[in-house]
Amino acid sequence: QVQLVESGGGLVQPGGSLRLSCVASRFTLDYYSIGWFRQAPGKEREGVSYISSSDGSRYYADSVKGRFFISRDNAKNTVYLQMNSLKPEDSAVYLCATGPPLGGNSWNREYKYNYWGQGTQVTVSS
């Protein structure tokens, strides 16, 4: 059974950093594009970042550009989301998902993705 597991969340002060990991099991992650999404209580799920399997293209939500960075280590079957200069509004459950190669206009559409992890909680608070 295909499985994605996120980790690395936690409580951090504003301005701090976290690195989230998305580890795949029972399949090879390098053939898949990966999206990171987040969902805060009472809000819709939103796309945060994406990395393509085909050409390594990366996309980011405007709200995280310049602060978050997505990368992948195929040898470890892992995709990372480095989050810097965190703000209270970044607090949410962060989920990773597998999808096909997508362009800049569609990477953040949930229905494009098939397998999802359970998520990891990120709380930014003083």
- For residue 106, give Cα distances in angstroms to 37, 62, 100, 114, 120: 13, 14, 11, 14, 24
Q: Sorting pLDDT into bands at 50, 70 and 90, what band is 8?
A: very high
pLDDT at 49: 98
pLDDT in tens, 79-108: 999 999 999 999 999 999 998 888 888 999
